[in-house]
Amino acid sequence: MLLWLQKYRPRTISEIVGNTNAVNQFADWISKRLKNDVKKAALLYGPPGVGKSLTVQVYAEQFGFDLIELNASDVRAKEQLMRIAGTAASQLTIFGGAKRIVFLDEIDGINPAEDKGCIPAIIDIINKSNCPVVLAANDPWDPKLRPIRDLCVLIRYNKIRSPTIVKFLKEICRKEGIVVEDRALTLIAEKADGDLRSAITDLQVLTEGRRYLRFEDVVWLPTRNRQYGVFDVLKELFWSKTALQARLVMEKSLIDHETLKLWIHENLPLVYSDLSDLVRAYDMLSKADVFFGRMNRTQNWDLLPYALEFMTAGIVLGVKKKPEFVKYQFPQKLLLISSTKNSRKIRDEILLALSEKCKLSRRKALTEIFPYLKVIIEENPSTSRHIGEWLNLNEDHLKYLGLKTSKLKKPNIKIPDLDRY
């Protein structure tokens, strides 16, 4: 059986259904890339089944590129990545006229813990490459992709609109000689939820062995469990009209509650420009967080539904002004926590030393002693040696406490004052 996906696959990029902008943007970027005046890599992102890989493959065929393709979530990906990093990308094509595109698909499937070195290898490929490097991902905002993201032109693929899908399915049916109810196609398209690939597959499965398709034949078609990206989740959440819709957003995503809570927290003030709406929304998020706190302490997970309802329906219903259209932001708290890891460790070591010497908790050492210690060292740096010996501190600790010069060793180097607080 010939898969319709293959049979009706576009031959040129202009035949690609939907996402015309993204496809044009991609073609544009490649032609500029060959003249070397843009970023070396492009990251195509968006939900599954909307034509990201297809664009790259069709483009390569149409314009005669060698496609070096690799699925990054493949188990053997690491090895292959390393090999590509070493060779293909940096080699000038020897045979006249042969052009190459390196295509790394599903890079959000990389598991940084298991596939150590994959991300650096990709960065290496991008940096060394003489030919265009194209990456694809469903969720480009995954923190682990951040270093890669910064090197790339981002090209966004959207879900394909239902009427567009219906139109394409109708065309297939016409060519296949299948009689079909419009309602049936609409239902397939709705269930596909913007994913043309799955819609085509569904249509083929449903019409297999028959020449007609009615609405009733489609009703049983199960909905796929969509792994909503966090942006889709937020968008659907903030624009929900009913409590149930808001609540169901959670079900559709694989994002854990804690993470979603941080995303909502980050974006509330962007979405709600009216302060009384913001207060209302924060009241609900804060109440949800109280439930989370109680659950953490008591392990009483029966509370979870209420927490989630506060966090979703509670927030979005009852606002006076419509939410703003904004670009959702990554939770800054997570970035701050990772970027301050070292300085916080140093701070905590000082506090531990203080708490032992001064016989109080670290928390009190921070509020009662620490500020004065800093002033003493700042006002009279010569005391720092004595303080350092007494508390058994090293130079990093003293720097953290505001000592400007490191013990006469490197008198000319100015120490940045970033970690003062």
Partner 1 sequence: MISMALEALWTEKYRPRKLDEMINQKEIVERLKQFAKTKAMPHCLFTGPPGTGKTTAALCLANEIFEGELAGNFLELNASDERGINVVREDIKNFARTISIGKVPFKILVLDEADNMTSDAQQALRRTMERYSETCRFILICNYSSKIIEPIQSRTAIFRFQPLNPEDVIKYLKYICSRENVDYSEDGLNAIIEVSEGDMRKAINILQAAAATGFVNEKSVYRVVGKAEPKEVLEMIKLAWNGKFIEARSKLRELLINYGLSGVDVLRQLHREIMKTSSLPITEEDKVKIADIIGEVSYRVVEGADDEIQLSYLLANIALLGSKSQR
Is residue 90 a contact partner of residue 200, using CB atoms and an 8 Å limit?
A: no
Nearest distance from residue 313's CB to partner 1, in Å?
A: 17
Which parts of 249-278 interact with partner 1 (CB under 8 A)? 261, 265, 268-270, 275-276, 278
Does the footprint of partner 1 cover residue 318 (CB under 8 A)?
no
Return the number of the residue (33 or 347) whose C-beta is nearest partner 1.
347
Does the footprint of partner 1 cover residue 362 (CB under 8 A)?
yes
Does the footprint of partner 1 cover residue 361 (CB under 8 A)?
yes
In DSSP terms, 105 is beta-bridged to 71
Residue type, 78: K
Q: Kindly write out the interface string for residues 202-221 of this chain, putting x where it contacts partner 1 by CB under 8 A and - elsewhere.
A: --------------------
Which window, 25-33, 36-44, 206-214, 339-347, contacts partner 1 (CB under 8 A)?
339-347
Using alpha carbons, select from 105, 113, 54, 51 the residue that is nearest to residue 80. 105
CA angle 309, 229, 27 (to 5 degrees): 155
Is residue 155 a contact partner of residue 148, using CB atoms and an 8 Å limit?
A: no
Exposed/middle/buried for residue 417 (C-beta within 10 Å: 0-12, 13-18, 19+): exposed
- Dihedral sign for Cα 128, 130, 102, 18, please: positive
Reduced to 3 states, what is the DSSP secondary structure of residue 371? helix
DSSP state of 35: T
d(C-alpha 43, C-alpha 135), whole Å:
5
Return the number of the residue (224 or 374) whose C-beta is nearest partner 1.
374
DSSP state of 274: S
Does the footprint of partner 1 cover residue 304 (CB under 8 A)?
no
Return the number of the residue (86 or 381) whose C-beta is nearest partner 1.
381
Nearest distance from residue 370's CB to partner 1, in Å?
A: 9
Nearest distance from residue 146's CB to partner 1, in Å?
A: 19
Does the footprint of partner 1 cover residue 328 (CB under 8 A)?
no
What does the longest C-alpha to C-alpha distance in the chain come to? Answer: 92
Return the number of the residue (69 or 378) whose C-beta is nearest partner 1.
378
Return the number of the residue (181 or 396) whose C-beta is nearest partner 1.
396
Does the footprint of partner 1 cover residue 407 (CB under 8 A)?
no
Among 225, 296, 299, 412, binds partner 1 (CB under 8 A): 296
Does the footprint of partner 1 cover residue 332 (CB under 8 A)?
yes
Residue type, 354: L
Nearest distance from residue 304's CB to partner 1, in Å?
A: 13
Give the helix ranges, DSSP H, for 87-214.
Answer: 118-128, 146-149, 162-176, 182-192, 196-207
Does the footprint of partner 1 cover residue 371 (CB under 8 A)?
yes
Does the footprint of partner 1 cover residue 31 (CB under 8 A)?
no
Residue type, 12: T
d(C-alpha 193, C-alpha 223), whole Å:
9
Among 349, 366, 395, 405, binds partner 1 (CB under 8 A): 366
**Of all helices (H) and strands (E), which one includes residue 41?**
strand 41-45
Interaction site with partner 1 (CB under 8 A): 261, 265, 268-270, 275-276, 278-279, 282-283, 285-287, 289-290, 292-294, 296, 332-333, 336-337, 340, 343-344, 347-348, 351, 355, 357-364, 366-369, 371-380, 383, 386-387, 389-391, 419, 421
